Amino acid sequence: MTTPEPTPEAQADAPFMRTIKTYVLRAGRMGSGQVRAFDQFGPQFLVPYKAERLDVQAAFGRSAPLILEIGFGMGDATAKIAQERPDDNFLCCEVHEPGVGALLKRCGEESIDNIRIVQHDAVEVMDHMLGKDSLDGVHIFFPDPWHKSRHHKRRLIQSPFVQRLAQHIKPGGYLHLATDWQPYAEQMLVVVSAEPLLANTAEPGAGGYANKPDYRPLTKFENRGIQLGHGVWDLVFRRV
């Protein structure tokens, strides 16, 4: 397997934000159904952020492998994955209310019992609510690529954040990233490959990228991109 040499762009992740954030707030309007979902389904599926260790078994009502999803957008892929993998628990972090409302609505209406949502920054959730070596997997799908060079420092997948993630994943657990922006995929590959706690699972000759795991569904935007000839890159690393 050949790992690309670090480019100046990838090496420029050193001046990452002093306080790591997994999101940038954007305005968004909620529909009436999403608003109702907070009242109707919030008590069952929302986990309030507290700067103290989360009792995961109590939150889900059972003991099961724990997967952290960071930034689920409107939650369509999240819901499908949770339904595909009923034996896993999914703790999902998102700060944008329309997306949280949409996933709450879907969880309630489709009885998706293995999802819990924390409407808070994932770094603080990891640091305060989850212990080290506590996660069986982490999903980060299609994070903002910040296309302009002057904005690359805002990209989520950078060395300080990946180091933090790796410490929270159990030995044998995995990190799954996906992006439809090739320059970001290349940076991701360099950055994650440099983390000594993580090992790439890609097949030899695959350029470091994994085949899309069956559990990750194609989103409507991904399907549209494929029709236009755009690529999608998955990276799957294991905690050593």
> Is 180 within any annotated ligand binding site?
yes
Nearest to 91 by CA among 72, 67, 112, 107: 67
Rounded-to-integer distance, Cα 115 and Cα 180, Å:
26
> Is 97 within any annotated ligand binding site?
no
The phi and psi torsions of 197 (rounded to 5 degrees) equal: -85, -5
> Is 21 within any annotated ligand binding site?
no
Whose structure tokens read 């949409």?
Answer: 102
> Is 221 within any annotated ligand binding site?
yes
Burial class (CB in 10 A: 0-12, 13-18, 19+), 67: buried
Please give the positions annotated as active site.
144
Rounded-to-integer distance, Cα 93 and Cα 72, Å:
7
Amino acid at 198: L
Q: What is the enclosing helix (H) or strand (E) of 239?
A: strand 233-239
> Is 148 within any annotated ligand binding site?
yes
> Is 214 within any annotated ligand binding site?
no
Please answer whether residues 23 and 95 qualify as being in contact, where contact means their C-beta atoms are separated by less than 8 angstroms.
yes
> Is 50 within any annotated ligand binding site?
no
> Is 5 within any annotated ligand binding site?
no
- Please give the annotated binding residues, written as ranges: 69, 94, 121, 144, 148, 180, 219-222
- Please give the annotated binding residues for substrate, written as ranges: 148, 180, 219-222
- Please give the annotated binding residues for S-adenosyl-L-methionine, written as ranges: 69, 94, 121, 144
